[in-house]
Amino acid sequence: MKAVAIFPATREVKLIDVPEPRITRPTDVRVRILEIGICGTDKELCQFKYGTPPAGADHLVIGHESLGEVVEIGAAVTRVAVGDLVVPMVRRPCEHADCVACSAGRQDFCYTNDYTERGIKERDGFMTEWVVDDERYMNVVPRALRDVGVLVEPLTIAEKALAQVRQIQQRLPWACPTTPGRRSDETDQCHRAVVLGAGPVGLLGAMALRADGFETFVYSRGGADSPRGQVVRAIGATFIEAETTTVAELPGRVGAIDVVYEATGASPFAFEVLAGLGTNGIFVFTGVPGRRGPVQVDTDLLMRNLVLQNQVVLGSVNASRADFEAAIRDLALFQERWPQALAALITGRFPIEAFAGQLLAQPADAIKNVFALS
């Protein structure tokens, strides 16, 4: 079967032929991959900034955002059935018995760093035709989400972040209703959010924040009338152009910022925005920046603000089963509320043979491009 793989030692990215995986354990599920999303991490993998092949292998099959269809199940499988649409999780637990996070099924909080990730770290990914994995990593997606199901995995980043924001905001009990899934459009004192960046992670994050009743601003380059700007408008959020509003002007334009959802990976810019976070605010980092060397930051200012304004800085990576389930529920909600904006996130479908143009170049106006296998 076809697979896109990186060869770090020789710095090559190739479409290769690999054996089809077979069911070997009673809890295995065999999945035919329908779509694979292309994200920034994949591009960094193809620049060899990131990524480790499985032990003993010279290559890593990439791809971690996917949608597939179950075609075969092992004898003991109960959670999925043949014909189900599924999105597999990315991270697999480490093997240390004393890692309480992995032992509890929360490998997204792994303590040892010995976790593996399909398509990223020591385990082949989903940019291929068939995948076999344990049923416990499969999440069933309703048929109605066939066209957008590939967005589940990138949405889990926002779901995990928002679950933590709700927990943290519970420290403000007076005016901060934190019921998960609160579907009100009302804004109140603790629900004003700024999303940094209008890529797929940023736009899906903005949708999740809007669905949770946040007054939401997306701060990005690219223009309020661009396709990204139109998505922002369609979901009832406000696009703020970085070309005409400086970071220092942001709080004046938005009001007190309760939550920043960072989705750019640009660290000097993010720390500039952190200086404008509001009282009792939460700053969520989701980007993984390249290491470009030190920059100057006004640490006295940041530390004073953090203490005197009860602020929280939170980094968040990967996602749990509950976050995948929340993403599937929210995707259905987005489809109901903003069908065109949601569909507009997927800007192109390509055969896997087009891997070079999609992975090694940056198609200028793309939001989320995907490989479609059927």
Residue 156 near residue 324 (C-beta atoms within 8 A): yes
Q: Could you tell me the smallest distance in angstroms from the CB atom of residue 370 to ligand BGC?
A: 15
Report the nearest approach of ligand BGC to the CB of residue 117 (Å). Answer: 5
Alpha-carbon gap, residue 283 to 257, rounded angstroms:
9
Q: Which residue has tokens 């014909």?
A: 83
Beta carbon nearer to ligand BGC, 204 or 250: 204
Shortest CA distance to 261 belongs to which of 323, 198, 304? 198
Task: State which residue, 78 or 113, has the beta carbon closest to ligand BGC.
Answer: 113
Decide whether 117 or 133 has the Cβ nearer to ligand BGC: 117
- Quick one: 47 exposed, middle or buried, by C-beta within 10 A (0-12, 13-18, 19+)? middle
**Distance of closest approach, residue 41 Cβ to ligand BGC, in angstroms:** 4
- For the bound state, the minimum distance from the C-beta of residue 304 to ligand BGC, rounded and expressed in Å, comes to 32
Residue nearer to ligand BGC on the CB measure, 315 or 339: 315
The SS3 assignment for 6 reads strand
Compute the residue count for the chain.
Answer: 374
| Least gap, CB of 309 to ligand BGC (angstroms) | 30
Measured from the CB atom, the residue of 120 and 203 that comes closer to ligand BGC is 120
Strand partners, 60: 6
Binding site for ligand BGC (CB under 6 A): 39, 41, 64, 90-91, 117, 120, 317-318
In angstroms, what is the minimal distance from the CB of 144 to ligand BGC? 24
Other beta carbons less than 10 A from residue 343's beta carbon: 13
Helices and strands, number each (H, E), in the chain: 11, 19
The closest of 290, 285, 358 to 49, measured between CA atoms, is 290
Look-up of token digits 């949770």: 212
Q: Minimum distance from CB of 74 to ligand BGC (Å)?
A: 25
Neighbours of 337 (CB within 10 A): 16
Question: Which C-beta is closer to ligand BGC: that of 30 or that of 64?
Answer: 64
Contacts of 199 (CB under 8 A, 6+ apart): 40, 263, 264, 367
Nearer CB in complex with ligand BGC: 190/345: 345
